[in-house]
Structure 1
Amino acid sequence: MDQLPQHLDIDWTSCRAHGLCAELLPEHVTLDEWGYPLVDARPVPARTLRRARRAAADCPVLALRLAAA
C-alpha cells in the first residue's frame, strides 16, 4: 500500500524561530529575515522523508510537523 504524500507544516503559535529546521532540511525550509521558517509547499520526496521526520522530531518546541498532503 502506498503512503500518502506528506508536506511540512508549521505550528505558528509554537514556533520560536530557532532555525534548526532550516539547518536540518535546507532544501525544504528557508528562514525569513526574522529567523522564522518558510516551508516549501511541495510534497516531501521519499528520499528526504527520513530527514524531514528527524527535523520535525528535533524541533525544540515541536512546531514543525509532517502532514498528509
Structure 2
Amino acid sequence: MRGARRADFVDEGDKTEKAEKARLRIDPVSCEGLGMCAHLAPRLIDLDPWGFPVLPLTDLEGPDRRAAVRAVRACPRRALHVSVE
C-alpha cells in the first residue's frame, strides 16, 4: 500500500512485535496542533499551551501501544508515527 506506515500494520498478537521497542514520534512540521491524538491517548499525550502534543520518552507497551496506534491512525495530518526498533 502506498503511503502506509509500519505502525498501521502492527499485530498486537505477534510476540516478535511485542519484543521490539516502540516509541511514539511526531513530525513537528506536519502537526497543526488539533489535539485529536491527546483525546485518543490521554495517558500518553499531553498538550502544550498552544495545543501541540508533548510525547512520552518511554517505550510503549500493552494498552499504551494500542492507544498510540489508534492516535497514529486518526491523525488528520499524518504527523504521528510509531517507530519500532
| TM-score of the alignment, normalized to the shorter chain, above 0.5 | yes
Unaligned ranges ≥5, structure 1: none
CA contact 2:25–2:81 (8 Å) conserved in 1: yes
The runs of at least 4 consecutive aligned structure 1 residues that moved more than 6 Å come to none
Matches within 5 A, 1:32-43: 32-43=48-59
Larger Cα Rg: Structure 1 or Structure 2? 2
Greater strand content: 1
CA RMSD in angstroms, aligned pairs only: 1.3
Partner residue, 1:2: 16
How many pairs align? 69
CA contact 2:44–2:64 (8 Å) conserved in 1: no
Q: Higher relative contact order at CA 8 Å, sep ≥6: structure 1 or structure 2?
A: 1
Deviations 1:3-62 (A, max 9, x none): 211110000110000001111111110000100000011011122222211110100101
Residue identity over aligned pairs, in percent, reads 33
TM-score, normalised to structure 1, is 0.90
Greater helix content: 2
3-state SS of paired residue (1:61): coil
